[in-house]
Amino acid sequence: MREGFIQMSKDVVGVDAGGTLAKIVYTSGRDWGYKTFPTYKMEEINSWIDESFNDPEIHITGGKAAFFIKSLALPAKRMNEFEATCAGVRWLLKEKGLIKKTGDHFIVANVGTGTSLHYVYDDDYERIGGSGIGGGTLVGLSYLLTGVADYDTIIQLAQKGSGRTLNIKVGDIYSHEPPPIPGDLTASNFGNVTFMKKADLPKEDCIAAVVRMIGETITTMSVQAADRLQTESIIYIGSTFASNIPLQDIIKEYTELRGKKAYFLDNGEFSGAIGAVLHNREHDHFL
C-alpha cells in the first residue's frame, strides 16, 4: 500500500468511465492497484471484477457512468464526476507532498477525450470551462493527416518530429522589427501554407504540429483561468498525458513562459477513480 492511503475493510472498486477509457482504482485490504480498459469492453470488465474480488463495493463516476451502471453485473454507487476528480487530485497532491507547493487553491486541467477546467479552492471546487480540444483531437487529426490512429505510434512519431515548421511564428510576422511579444511564440498553428506547398511533409512533423497546437491551446486556457482566479499553480491530469512526453514538454514550457507553475501528477489520469474509491469514506481526510 502506498503511504497515506486509507486501508479499506472491504474490497472497493472505483471506476472513472470516460468516453474512451475506463480508469479503475481498486483496493483489497492494504493492496491498491490501477487498471484501464477500453470503455466499450463491458464483458471483459465484468469478468475481471468477478475473478478479482469477492462481493466488492463499486463506485462509479465519469461521463459513461450511467452506461456502466446498466451494464455491470453487480450494483454500483454513482458519484459526481467533477467532485470525484477534484477530490482525487487533492488526495494525490497531499500524498506526494506537493500541496505545500501548489497551495490550497489551483487550476486543474483534465485532458481526456476533451478538456475540462476546474478551480479547486480550500475544500471546494468549481468547473470553470472546457474545450473540445484533447486526446480525441490528437488521435483524430493525426489520422486525418497521416493515416495513423494508434495512440502509442502517434506519440512515438511526435517525439521524432518538429511541428514548428508547419506554423507561423510571431517572429515571422515581425520580420523587419522587434516583435512586441517573444518571437518564438506561435502566431498561427498550421499557418505556414507556403512551406507546406513546397515540402514533402513527414508524418513525424505533421503529428508533432498537432501535439503543439493541442498543448498551446490547453495551456492558454489554463493560464488565462489562473490569471483570473489569481493562482500560480496549474495541475495537468488526464489519460492524454500518459507516456506523452512531447505534450508535457510543450505545456510545461508554455506555462512557465506565461509565469505559472505546471504540475503533472503520477497516476493523475486516475484522479476520478481515486475520488470514487474514497467516496463517503474518511471524507475529511481527503478533501
158 in any annotated domain: yes
170 in any annotated domain: yes
DSSP string for the chain = --TTPPPPSS-EEEEEE-SSEEEEEEEETTEEEEEEEETT-HHHHHHHHHHH-SS-EEEEESTTHHHHHHH-SS--EE--HHHHHHHHHHHHHHHTT-HHHH-SEEEEEEESSSEEEEEEETTEEEEEEEES-SHHHHHHHHHHHHS---HHHHHHHHHH--SGGGSEEHHHHTTTS--SS-TTSEEETT--HHHHHHS---HHHHHHHHHHHHHHHHHHHHHHHHHHTT--EEEEESGGGTT-HHHHHHHHHHHHHTT-EEEE-TTGGGHHHHHHHTTTSSHHHH-
- Residue 285 is predicted with a pLDDT of 39
278 in any annotated domain: yes
Going by pLDDT thresholds of 50, 70 and 90, the confidence category of residue 125 is: very high
- Are residues 42 and 141 both part of a single domain? no
- Residue 3 is predicted with a pLDDT of 41
118 in any annotated domain: no
- Residue 101 is predicted with a pLDDT of 95
Going by pLDDT thresholds of 50, 70 and 90, the confidence category of residue 9 is: low
Going by pLDDT thresholds of 50, 70 and 90, the confidence category of residue 123 is: confident
- Residue 283 is predicted with a pLDDT of 42
Going by pLDDT thresholds of 50, 70 and 90, the confidence category of residue 71 is: confident
- Are residues 136 and 252 both part of a single domain? yes
Going by pLDDT thresholds of 50, 70 and 90, the confidence category of residue 8 is: low
pLDDT digits 0-9 by tens, 22-53:
999 998 767 789 999 998 898 999 999 999 88
- Are residues 254 and 273 both part of a single domain? no
- Are residues 260 and 276 both part of a single domain? no
Mean of the pLDDT values across residues 186-210? Answer: 92
Q: Is the pLDDT of residue 131 over 90?
A: yes
Angle, helix 135-146 to helix 151-160, in steps of 10 degrees: 70
Q: Is the pLDDT of residue 148 over 80?
A: yes
Split into its structural domains, the chain has a count of: 2
Q: Is the pLDDT of residue 200 over 70?
A: yes
- Are residues 230 and 142 both part of a single domain? yes
Q: Which residues are catalytic?
A: 81
pLDDT digits 0-9 by tens, 95-109:
999 999 999 999 999
Q: What percent of the chain has pLDDT over 70?
A: 94
- Residue 39 is predicted with a pLDDT of 86
- Residue 130 is predicted with a pLDDT of 94
Ramachandran category for residue 97: left, alpha or beta (phi over 0 → left; psi -120 to 50 → alpha): left
- Residue 54 is predicted with a pLDDT of 86
What CATH number does residue 57 fall under? 3.30.420.40
Q: Is the pLDDT of residue 284 over 60?
A: no
Mean of the pLDDT values across residues 256-276? Answer: 94
